[in-house]
A and B are shown apart, each in its own frame.
Chain A
Amino acid sequence: MNTSLATLNGVDPWILIFSLVTVVVTVVMGFRSAKSSKTAGDFFVAGRSVSVGWNASAISGEYLSAASFMGIAGMVMAIGYDALWYPVCYACGYLFLLLFIAGPLRRFGAYTIPDFAEGRYDSPLFRKIAVCFVLFIGFFYTMPQMKGAGTTLAYIFPGLPYWVGVAVVGAVITLNVALGGMKGITLVQAMQYWMKLFAISVPVFVLAAVYGGYGKNLEINRTSYDAPAALISAATPDGTSGPAVNVRPPLPSKAPVDEAWSSPFGPLTTKAAKAAHLTPEETKPLSLLYTYSLIIALVCGTAGLPHILVRFYTNPDGVAAKRTTMWVMILIGVFYIFPPFIGVIGRNLMPELYNGLGAKGTDKVVLELPTLISAKYGVLGSVMSGIACAGAFAAFMSTFSGLLVSMTGAVAHDVYGRMLRPDSTPEQRMRMFKFAAIGIGAISVGLGCCVEPLEINFMVGQAFAIAAASYFPLLFMSVWWRGMTMKGAAIGMLTGGVLALLAAALTNVSNLALDKGPMGKIFSSFAPLNDFWAQHPLLRILCEQPAIWTVPLAIVLMIVVSKATASEVPKNIRMKMLVLHAPEALGLKNEYIQENQAGAGH
């Protein structure tokens, strides 16, 4: 008790109150909705009865992770225009889901993605491969959420060790998931979306009212294409001369200059070429290549994240799944307009953040920026900062709960219910779901404690690269091409996923080798790799952003191997395609996984 009081001393009471409210509301809502979760169907797919509005809010809440809430504003602030591709492609990935995957996937009526993999190819082996990928991508995505939790809590309560935040958030969410399963978290996640939208938009509106709008703040960053306007004269510290433009304190030397920051092909996409000392003319095509590869990775990665895909099974039918996707795009798009704006204001008003790194630097701009308002309006700044912190809490809690449900589903349903004990009753599986949730929650907390030195964006990028080259080609091809065979699907998916992982890992270890901290020592043997990159910037880009070759490679492999093994196309492929694509009105529907208790389910 004494220690907790001691740490409370330096804490802003408003931040404390808002954060506590977020946690308490999450727990209470989790408990309340847990009471209505009774059947196995409730636990795995929320009884397949989630309406369009709820599911769209829940998917959006689950998707907007710590990387979205804090990372994007930080990235826009740190690297400028190129970072805008992240929010745009995160939202656009859903268009691909909508156009090609959501409806048919739902119509198949499975519980998990491995279910679909097995059912589509009549192959238990393929289910095992798919389970491995779900767990692998899931844990990769969990680690950055855990890191976000640890660093945010350490920011809010100065002096609190990193692991406490990880353990607290992990415990709260594990409890929620174990008690209520999918149905229990649907409500919580939906509410957390609106909380996040509120938490990002209100501070932005207040900041905009005080410091000027989006365009006005961007205008301060002049490029060589702008007329050397009289605005330059506004650079006098008191702003008495020149037009009424906000005056920016001088940028630290680490910050990118205005030109590179506000134009396309800035610091992010030219890094490799810079290291190779290429001329600007030689650099530009490489930057274009980098941009395209980034786009492919983000769009296809979004459409292949298992913890998002599984939520479509909670809709009652394919039509609802399609409608849900459209609403997700709208909800997410509205949200994503705000973080870049915060990044822009942050560049003008808080350039000192450029001196820090990662969580101590631009990444905390969302949390820090609202405190500026205190200078003018006193307590309002603290309130805004508290709201922003509550949003950050909601961000990593909801994403982690989604990941936990999808991984738990994979273990309890696929590993236990289908592989180890195929004859287990739904009650046994439900009990297994609870045990699995606790086990995976514990593993996640353990992993989260180990990843403090790693960067959030590195880990999220890794997960996207793997998902883009494995699940997206698999789903896209399985849904639309009847000639696919299990061997083709498995070989394409494994090759794409593993190569993407290796390529991305290669650049990351070479980056870590440059690190001055403890990580640099561990990976120092990879330092020579950096000399190699300096000589081959093209290869470096292809490794850093592998999607541009791994995704097509996976698809080509799928086609070639499937053609070679054409005799192994499942016999009843016509029927399977019919189930995937026929409208519900025809009454052909037959859920792949049914609850075998009479009267239960739907």
Chain B
Amino acid sequence: MRRQLKLSIGCALAFLVGLLGLPLLNYFAPAFMAQRVGGFTLTWLVLGVLFFPYVWLVSGYFIRRSLKLEDDEARNALASKEGALR
């Protein structure tokens, strides 16, 4: 459970950096974020389009790791025939 929580918090942090960092970039580097990429302003492109794939990547990574952790946990617990977890 502790390792699961660590994983969750790690993924949440990776995601929060993106989510909370974007307004900061808008705030401190407006000229940079307003440059045009294929017609979009950079900030519009990031928030309106690229943010979704980013969230999918984070969640995909989380699922893989989390299921593996559960497997390990189950295997360890069964091997020691204790059935007790931390």
The chain A residues found within 8 Å of chain B, CB to CB, are 81, 84-85, 87-89, 91-92, 94-96, 98-100, 103, 213-219, 223, 225-226, 262-265, 284, 288, 291-292, 295, 299, 319, 322-323, 325-326, 329-330, 333-334, 336-337, 340, 480, 577-578, 581-583, 585-588
Which of A217, A264, A330 is within 8 Å of B43, CB to CB? A264
Complex contact A98–B59 (CB within 8 A): yes
Whole-angstrom distance between the Cβ of B82 and the nearest chain A Cβ? 10
Q: In the complex, are the beta carbons of A84 and B44 less than 8 A apart?
A: yes
A309 and B11 alpha carbons, distance in the complex (Å): 21
State in angstroms the CA–CA spacing of A585 and B69 once bound together: 12
Check A225 against B35 for contact (C-beta < 8 Å): yes
Q: Flag if A583 contacts B52 (CB, 8 Å).
A: no
Query: B residues bordering A, Cβ < 8 Å?
Result: 1, 4-5, 8-9, 11-12, 15, 19-20, 23-24, 26-27, 30-31, 33-41, 43-44, 47-49, 51-53, 55-56, 58-60, 62-63, 66-67, 70-71, 73-74, 77-78, 83, 85
Q: A96-B12, A325-B59, A586-B74 are in contact. List 5 more A-B contacts (CB 8 A).
A: A85-B47, A92-B19, A299-B19, A322-B67, A334-B52
* Interface pair B67/A319, CB less than 8 Å apart: yes
Contact of B47 among A84, A213, A226, A587 (CB under 8 A): A84
B12 touches A99 (CB 8 A): yes
Query: What chain A residues lie within 8 Å of B52 (beta carbons)?
Result: 88, 91, 333-334, 336-337
**In the complex, what's the smallest C-beta–C-beta distance from A186 to chain B, in angstroms?**
22
Which 5 pairs of residues, A with B, have the shortest CB-CB distance? A215-B39, A333-B52, A225-B34, A264-B26, A585-B74
Give the chain A neighbours of B27 by CB distance below 8 A: 264-265, 284, 288
Minimal Cβ-Cβ distance residue in B for A263? B34
Q: Dominant SS at the A interface?
A: helix
- B23 nearest CB across to chain A (Å): 5
Whether A295 lies near B20 (C-beta < 8 A) is yes
CB-defined contacts of B15 to chain A, threshold 8 Å: 92, 95
CB pairs A–B below 8 angstroms (30 shown): A88-B51, A91-B55, A92-B55, A96-B12, A98-B59, A100-B12, A215-B38, A215-B39, A225-B41, A226-B34, A263-B30, A263-B41, A264-B26, A264-B27, A264-B43, A265-B26, A265-B27, A291-B23, A295-B23, A299-B19, A319-B70, A326-B63, A329-B59, A333-B56, A581-B4, A582-B85, A583-B74, A585-B71, A586-B85, A587-B83
Task: Choose from A215, A295, A333 the contact partner of B40 (Cβ within 8 Å).
Answer: A215
A552 CB, min distance to chain B CBs, angstroms: 14
Question: In the complex, what residues of B have CB within 8 A of residue A89's CB?
Answer: 19
Chain B: minimal CB distance from A98 (Å): 6
Taking the closest CB of chain B, its distance from the CB of A96, in whole angstroms, is 7
Q: B51, A329: Cβ atoms under 8 Å?
A: no
Contacts of A588 in B (CB 8 A): 83
Closest residue on chain B to residue A285 by CB atoms: B27
Please tell me if the beta carbons of A337 and B49 are within 8 angstroms of each other in the complex.
yes
Q: Nearest chain-A residue to B4 (Cβ)?
A: A581
A81 to B36, CA, bound (A): 15
CB atoms of A322 and B38 under 8 A apart: no
How long is the Cα–Cα vector from A265 to B74 in the complex, in angstroms? 49
B23 touching A218, Cβ below 8 Å:
no
* CB <8 Å contact, B30 and A264: yes
Q: Which residues of A contact B47 (CB under 8 A)?
A: 81, 84-85, 88
A50 to B77, CA, bound (A): 29
A16 to chain B, nearest CB (A): 34
Distance in angstroms between the alpha carbons of A480 and B3 in the assembled complex: 12
Most buried by A among B15, B43, B55, B63: B55
Please pick, from A288, A292, A329, A583, the residue contacting B73 in the complex, using a CB distance under 8 A.
A583
Contact A98 B39 (CB under 8 A): no
How many Å lie between the Cα of A263 and that of B24 in the bound state? 13
Chain B residues near A215 (CB-CB < 8 A): 37-40
Given A96-B12, A337-B48, A214:B39 Cβ within 8 A: yes
With a CB–CB cut-off of 8 A, which chain A residues contact B53? 333
Question: Which of A99, A100, A322, A340 contacts B48 (CB under 8 A)?
Answer: A340
The distance from the CB of A285 to the nearest CB of chain B, in whole angstroms, is 8
Query: Measured between C-beta atoms, what is the minimum distance from B69 to chain A in Å?
Result: 9
Give every chain A residue within 8 A of B40 (Cβ-Cβ): 214-215, 218
Q: A218-B39, A583-B70, A586-B74 are in contact. Are A288 and B44 (CB under 8 A)?
A: no
Min distance, Cβ A280 to any Cβ of chain B, angstroms: 12
User: By the criterion CB–CB under 8 Å, are B23 and A577 in contact?
Assistant: no
Complex contacts, A322 vs chain B, CB 8 Å: 63, 66-67
Residues of B within 8 A of A100 (CB): 8, 12
* Complex interface: chain B residues within 8 A of A213 (CB): 39
Which residues of A are found within 8 Å of B39, using beta-carbon distances? 213-219
In the assembled complex, which residues on chain B have CB atoms less than 8 Å from the CB atom of A96?
Answer: 12
Contact for B78 among A265, A284, A299, A586, CB less than 8 A: A586
Residues of A within 8 A of B38 (CB): 215
User: B85 near A330 (CB under 8 angstroms)?
Assistant: no
Question: In whole angstroms, what is the CA distance A183 to B38 when docked?
Answer: 46
* B83–A586 touching, CB < 8 Å: yes
